Amino acid sequence: MNGLDALPRVPLATLPTPLHPAPRLSAELGVDVWFKRDDLTGLGLGGNKARGLEFLVADAMERGCDCIVTGAGEQSNWAALAALAARRCGLEPHLVFYGTPGRPVGNLLLDRWAGATIHYTRDAERSSVDRTIDELCARLRRAGRRPYAIPRGGATALGAVGYLLAGLELDSQLHEAGLKPATLWLATGSCGTQAGLVAAARWLGSAYRVVGVSVSRPVRECLQRVAHLSDGAADLVAMRGEADDVHVLDGYIGPGYGKPSDAGDEATALVARTEGILLDPVFGAKAMAALIAHARSDRLEGPVVFLVTGGSATLFARKGPV
């Protein structure tokens, strides 16, 4: 038996998300590609973060908290989904963003629709969010509130349990489809998503490798974070499998975190034009650019599953390029 039943969980996502083949993209790349559609989780505009929020928001409620405090950059998919998840459960969302206010487009617009209280650190350093979350929580407590702090990206062991479960969900879909992928590809940022998938693959003894494409952090930091969060998630639910290597790819960040890359834009266009599926410029586009580069240089063994992680709001937070 595992410890999953003991964890509080609130249903926020529409699950399971579909797994389906991408025949025209596969023909284009010469490799059998399948999509796991976590852009269709159904909270807000969908996306991967809905899965971890089911556990994080439930934990906040179980602890009797009345607001959640989290943060990131103002175009964060995480922040917008956290705000909407909080509202779904009657909690008040407070969001901390690094830097100074920008244009109310994309996710920032969603945050406003959710009525989140928004705080800016006025410091361009991403880590300024972390100390401001602590300060804000202290201030809210002094005012008699009961805040629940969640680190950037929801990257905690508890948040990663959402993707441990996604890995189990994927496993039964793979069985049903008779599919034995060589690799499962995804974009990796704060690392909780990859960590959960790695924990599930280890628990199940899956034959595929989970390949994260780093879109923000140095690979060495990702490797440590994935290993740590994956063990933490597995321990929380008593589903620890045998440890093996963690795979994170470098070289696809482009001009920087949060900035679209040319290769990412090409990947987005290819996927939209072959499969009618939208990838976001910050995460999915860069992960797909990595997959395409591997296919085109004969370094990609099939079949592969690509996790579509959502984030479509940021498609509307930039100009062009088409």
Ligand X SMILES: Cc1ncc(COP(=O)(O)O)c(C=O)c1O
Residues within the interface to ligand X (CB under 6 A): 47-48, 77-78, 153, 155, 187-194, 280, 283-284, 309-311
Contact assessment for residue 41 and residue 30, using Cβ atoms and an 8 Å cutoff: no
Write down the least CB distance from residue 103 to ligand X, Å. 19
Write down the least CB distance from residue 139 to ligand X, Å. 26
Write down the least CB distance from residue 114 to ligand X, Å. 16
How many Å from the N-terminal Cα to the C-terminal Cα in the chain? 52
From the candidates 26, 76, 190, 214, which is the catalytic residue? 76
**Which is closer to ligand X, CB of 188 or CB of 206?**
188
**Which is closer to ligand X, CB of 140 or CB of 199?**
199
Sign of the C-alpha dihedral, residues 229, 235, 237, 242?
Answer: positive
Q: Which residue is nearest to ligand X (CB)?
A: 311
**Which is closer to ligand X, CB of 72 or CB of 300?**
72
Helix crossing, 284-296 with 262-275: angle to 10°? 90
Write down the least CB distance from residue 263 to ligand X, Å. 17
**174, 264, 176, 178: which is closest to 213 by C-alpha?**
264
**121, 99, 97: which is closest to 107 by C-alpha?**
97
Determine whether 76 is an active site residue.
Answer: yes
Sheet holding 33-37, edge to edge: 19-21, 33-37, 304-308, 183-188, 209-214, 247-249
Which burial class, exposed, middle or buried, applies to 13 when counting CB atoms under 10 A from its CB (0-12, 13-18, 19+)? buried
Contact assessment for residue 48 and residue 195, using Cβ atoms and an 8 Å cutoff: no
Q: How far apart are CA 156 and CA 230, in angstroms?
A: 9
Write down the least CB distance from residue 155 to ligand X, Å. 6
**Which is closer to ligand X, CB of 73 or CB of 303?**
73
Write down the least CB distance from residue 284 to ligand X, Å. 6
CA angle 213, 215, 219 (to 5 degrees): 65
Q: Which helix (H) or strand (E) holds 306?
A: strand 304-308
**Which is closer to ligand X, CB of 295 or CB of 308?**
308
Q: How far apart are CA 97 and CA 83, in angstroms?
A: 13
| Amino acid residing at 102 | G
Which burial class, exposed, middle or buried, applies to 273 when counting CB atoms under 10 A from its CB (0-12, 13-18, 19+)? exposed
**Which is closer to ligand X, CB of 106 or CB of 153?**
153
Give the catalytic positions in this structure.
Answer: 76
